[in-house]
C-alpha cells in the first residue's frame, strides 16, 4: 500500500514593515517585542555605511541598551556563528537586532538559537552534516533589518553556513529561527555596487523561480506528526502568489537597479521583491540551483568578484545559484511545461514566443547577460575535473533536492553542471 499523500500546507511569514524611512521605527518595534538589551548584529561594511550607528541611536532613544557585534562574516562559518553566540551569552541580552545582508541576519538567528536553547551550533546543523537537533520552544525576539535586496533571510527559517574543512555549505532550519519582525527600508540600500545588486537580484529571481517550480506540496507523503512536516513544503497556492509577484518585479526592475545606483524606485522594488520571494521560498523551498550552489561556493575559493571589497575571494551567493539555473530548468521542464512557461512570462512580461524547454533558460540567460553575471562555472574557476566533487556536494543537499519537480541522480547532476560551464 502506498503511503497517504500530504493534504495540508501552512502559511507562516515574518510580519514586515516596508517603506522609505521605516527604519526610524526600529526602536518602537524592538520595544514592542519586549527587548530591553539588544545585541546589534552587523558587519564592518554596514558599520562603515553608517547604518549600525543610526540603528543604535534609534534603539537607544527608546531606552534600549545596545551591545554591538560587528564581526558577522560575509560567508558565515561555524566558527563565526559560535563566536557571535558566545558573545551574545556573555552580554546577557534579551533580544537581537540584525542590520545587514543575509549573513548578519543568519548570524543573529543562530546566536539567538544558541542563547535561547544552549547547545553547540553544530548540533543544530541539518543532518547528516550536523546533528539535526530541533529547538524545544520559541527564541528570544529578533528584529531583522536587511540592507541588501537579496537573501530574503528576514522572511525565512534558515541560516546558511560554510564548513570549509568539510568543503560544503549547510544550514540550520527551523520555524523558530524566523525573525519576529522585519523592517525593510529601501533607503538603506544606498550606494551598493551594481555587481552586488546583480548577484543579490539574481538570487531573488532564483528563489522565486525555484519555489514556483518546486514539487507540489500534495505530492509528498503525509508526515506522521505535525512536528515532522518540513519547513520547505513544496509549491502551494499561497507561496505561488508571493513567488509570482517577486518574479514580475525582478524581471521588470533588476536591469535598472543594476545600471543606476540612484534609481531608488528600481532598487526599492528589488528590495520588496527579495522579501516577497523570501516569503515564497520560506514556504515552498528551493531545489536544484541552490543545491548546486553550495559546493560551487564552498569548494574553491579562487574567484575574486568585481565590485566587492578587494582581497576576499569568494563566489557571491546569487552568482553561485544562477549559473546552473538555465540547465536546471531545462532538466525539470518535462515535469510541468506550463509552469515553466509561466515563469518565463512573469520574467519577461510577455507571452512565450516559442514554447519549449528553452523558453525559461533563454529568458534567464538574457537577464544574466544584461546584469553582468558570470557566464558559467568555467568563469568561476571550475573545469571538467571538478564535476565529480561538485556532484558529491550537491547530492549532500538532499533536503533541497527532494523538492525538485524532477529529482536528479548523480548522472543528471553531472550533465547539468557540464551544461553550465558557459551559458552563452
List residues near Fe ion by CB under 5 A.
203
Residue 30 or 199 with smaller CB distance to Fe ion: 199
Residue 93 or 247 with smaller CB distance to Fe ion: 247
> Grid coordinates in use for 203?
538570487
Q: How far is the CB of 56 from Fe ion (least distance, A)?
A: 29
| Alpha carbon distance 288, 400 (integer Å) | 7
Q: For residues 196 and 146, is the Cβ–Cβ distance under 8 A?
A: no
Q: How far is the CB of 379 from Fe ion (least distance, A)?
A: 19
CA 80 → CA 74, 104, 161, 311, 381, distances in Å?
10, 11, 9, 19, 26
Q: How far is the CB of 411 from Fe ion (least distance, A)?
A: 26
Give the other-Cβ count within 10 Å of 336's Cβ: 17
Q: How far is the CB of 115 from Fe ion (least distance, A)?
A: 26
Residue 150 or 251 with smaller CB distance to Fe ion: 150
| Alpha carbon distance 280, 270 (integer Å) | 15
Q: How far is the CB of 350 from Fe ion (least distance, A)?
A: 26
Pick from 374, 382, 395: which is nearest to 299 by CA? 382
Query: Whose grid coordinates read 532564483?
Result: 206
Q: How far is the CB of 344 from Fe ion (least distance, A)?
A: 20
Cross-strand bridge partners of residue 170:
161
Q: How far is the CB of 75 from Fe ion (least distance, A)?
A: 13
Q: For residues 330 and 419, is the Cβ–Cβ distance under 8 A?
A: yes
Residue 319 or 341 with smaller CB distance to Fe ion: 319
| Alpha carbon distance 288, 406 (integer Å) | 10
351: buried, middle or exposed (CB in 10 Å: 19+, 13-18, 0-12)? exposed
Residue 203 or 248 with smaller CB distance to Fe ion: 203
Residue 30 or 105 with smaller CB distance to Fe ion: 105
CA-based torsion, 413, 222, 106, 190: positive or negative: positive
Q: Which long-range contacts (CB under 8 A, 24 or more apart) does 359-363 make?
A: 360/209, 360/326, 360/329, 360/330, 360/333, 361/325, 361/326, 361/327, 361/329, 361/330, 362/326, 363/251
Q: For residues 373 and 198, is the Cβ–Cβ distance under 8 A?
A: yes
Residue 115 or 299 with smaller CB distance to Fe ion: 299
Residue 203 or 386 with smaller CB distance to Fe ion: 203
CA 416 → CA 293, 328, 341, distances in Å?
13, 6, 20
Residue number of the CB closest to Fe ion reads 203
Cα end-to-end span (Å), the chain? 48
Q: How far is the CB of 293 from Fe ion (least distance, A)?
A: 7
Residue 135 or 318 with smaller CB distance to Fe ion: 318
Q: How far is the CB of 38 from Fe ion (least distance, A)?
A: 27
Residue 267 or 317 with smaller CB distance to Fe ion: 317
Q: How far is the CB of 276 from Fe ion (least distance, A)?
A: 14
Q: For residues 165 and 282, is the Cβ–Cβ distance under 8 A?
A: no
Amino acid at each position: 500500500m502506498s503511503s497517504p499523500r500530504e493534504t495540508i500546507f501552512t502559511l507562516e511569514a515574518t510580519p514586515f514593515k516596508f517603506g522609505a524611512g521605516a527604519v526610524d521605527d526600529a526602536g518602537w518595534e524592538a520595544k514592542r517585542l519586549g527587548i530591553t538589551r539588544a545585541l546589534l548584529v552587523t558587519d564592518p561594511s554596514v558599520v562603515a555605511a553608517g547604518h549600525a550607528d543610526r540603528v543604535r541611536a534609534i534603539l537607544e532613544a527608546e531606552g534600549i541598551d545596545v551591545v554591538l557585534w560587528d564581526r558577522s562574516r560575509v560567508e558565515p562559518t561555524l566558527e563565526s556563528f559560535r563566536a557571535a553566540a558566545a558573545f551574545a551569552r556573555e552580554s546577557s541580552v534579551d533580544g537581537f537586532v540584525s542590520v545587514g545582508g543575509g549573513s548578519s541576519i543568519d548570524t543573529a538567528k543562530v546566536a539567538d538559537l544558541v542563547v535561547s536553547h544552549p547547545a553547540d551550533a553544530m548540533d543544530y546543523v541539518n543532518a547528516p552534516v550536523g546533528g539535526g537537533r530541533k529547538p524545544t520552544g520559541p527564541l528570544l525576539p529578533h528584529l531583522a533589518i536587511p540592507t541588501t535586496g537579496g537573501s530574503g533571510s528576514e522572511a525565512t527559517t534558515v541560516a546558511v553556513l560554510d564548513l570549509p574543512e568539510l568543503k560544503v555549505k549547510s544550514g540550520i532550519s527551523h520555524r523558530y529561527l524566523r525573525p519576529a519582525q522585519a523592517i525593510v527600508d529601501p533607503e538603506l540600500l544606498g550606494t551598493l555596487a551594481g555587481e552586488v545588486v546583480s548577484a543579490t537580484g539574481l538570487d531573488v529571481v532564483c528563489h522565486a523561480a525555484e519555489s514556483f517550480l518546486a514539487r507540489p506540496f500534495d505530492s509528498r507523503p503525509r508526515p506522521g506528526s505535525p512536528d515532522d512536516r518540513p519547513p520547505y513544503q513544496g509549491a502551494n497556492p499561497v507561496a505561488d502568489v508571493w513567488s509570482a509577484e517577486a518574479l514580475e518585479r525582478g524581471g521588470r526592475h533588476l536591469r535598472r537597479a543594476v545600471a543606476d545606483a540612484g534609481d531608488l524606485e528600481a532598487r526599492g522594488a528589488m528590495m520588496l521583491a527579495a522579501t516577497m520571494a523570501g516569503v515564497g521560498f520560506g514556504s515552498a523551498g528551493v531545489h536544484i540551483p541552490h543545491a548546486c550552489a553550495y559546493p560551487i561556493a564552498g569548494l574553491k575559493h579562487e574567484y575574486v568578484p568585481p565590485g566587492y571589497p578587494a582581497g576576499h575571494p569568494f563566489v557571491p551567493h546569487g552568482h553561485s545559484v544562477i549559473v546552473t539555473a538555465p540547465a536546471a530548468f531545462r532538466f525539470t521542464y518535462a515535469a510541468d511545461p506550463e509552469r515553466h512557461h509561466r515563469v518565463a512570462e512573469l520574467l519577461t512580461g510577455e507571452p512565450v514566443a516559442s514554447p519549449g524547454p528553452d523558453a525559461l533558460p533563454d529568458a534567464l540567460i538574457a537577464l544574466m547577460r544584461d546584469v553582468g553575471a558570470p557566464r558559467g562555472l568555467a568563469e568561476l574557476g571550475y573545469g571538467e575535473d571538478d564535476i565529480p566533487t561538485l556532484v558529491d556536494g550537491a547530492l549532500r543537499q538532499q533536503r533541497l533536492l527532494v523538492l525538485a519537480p524532477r529529482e536528479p541522480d548523480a548522472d543528471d547532476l553531472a550533465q547539468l553542471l557540464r551544461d553550465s560551464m558557459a551559458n552563452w
